[in-house]
Structure formats: structure tokens, C-alpha cells
Amino acid sequence: MAHPTCQVGGRFSRCHGAAQYDCQYCGRAFCAEHAYFVEGHEAVCSRKSCATKRDDLAQHLEYRRGVERRNNAGLCGIDGCGPHPGFECSLCRGLFCGDHLTERMYPFRMGMATIDRPVSICAACWDRRKIWRAA
């Protein structure tokens, strides 16, 4: 449901533009002046946490393309590492050698609860959790 005015800004600095979109990350309404578009159609507002998620997603997609290129050549997903990747990251599904994956407990949302589950995870995916865990 669209709100009549943009919800970007603080209590005393709220934008008064007409809301046209709902943010795919936070769900708040915002105007065209505060809009970013992912792949031309998915609207993201200019709030810091949402912009950080948008930027992280673009970087992660590029990272995954690099991992896939190296995996297709029979190499570990980490640039400069050698052949024989034998382990898969539980999140990005890239293939890595044993030195570049870590067994960790990773938080997953299950409805309203967060449950830690064991995963094999690359460093890039582990670092992203801080961005996406924040609401």
C-alpha cells in the first residue's frame, strides 16, 4: 500500500515528496528523488542501510562471477589459489579448497526466530552477514 508522502528522513528532516515506490529491503515508501533501481525495476530507497545492501549485492554478484570463472577452470574460488577445489560454500555455492572454507555457526531466520546452523562458508559470505543481519 503506497503512502501519500515519502518516508525518507528523520523526524525534523522528513521529505515531503509524493511516495511512488516501496523499498524492497525496508518496505518503507519513498519518492523518485530518493530511489535507486536494481536491474532497472527493483526499487531501493536511499537510506544508509538499504543503500549498503544494494551496493553489497552488486559486489557479491561480481564476486560470484569471479568464483564461477575460476571454478570452471578447475581452480579454487579464491584468486591466486591452485587447483582441486573440493568443498562448497553453503551460501554462494562456490567451490573452494579446504584452506578457504571455514566451519561456522551461521544465523538463519525461521519465522520470528533466528537459529544458528553449522555451515561451510567462504570469507566473503561470512563478512556479508553483518550487513544482511541488520533490519
Return the SS3 of 74. Answer: coil
Q: Would you say residue 79 has pLDDT above 50?
A: yes
Give the confidence band of 78 by pLDDT, cuts at 50, 70, 90.
very high
C-alpha cell at 89: 560454500
Is residue 6 within 8 A of residue 29, CB to CB? The reply is yes
How many CB atoms are closer than 10 A to CB 110? 8
> Per-residue pLDDT averaged across 116-122, rounded?
95
Say what the pLDDT of residue 129 is: 87
24-27 long-range contacts (CB < 8 A, ≥24 apart) are: 25/49, 25/50, 25/53, 25/54, 26/50, 26/135
Give the confidence band of 85 by pLDDT, cuts at 50, 70, 90.
confident
Q: Would you say residue 3 has pLDDT above 70?
A: no
At residue 29, φ and ψ (nearest 5 deg) are -80, 150
Q: Would you say residue 97 has pLDDT above 80?
A: yes
Give the confidence band of 2 by pLDDT, cuts at 50, 70, 90.
very low
User: Residues of 77-109 as b/e, b for ≥16 C-beta within 10 angstroms?
Assistant: bbeeeeeebebbbbbbebbbbeebbeeeebeee
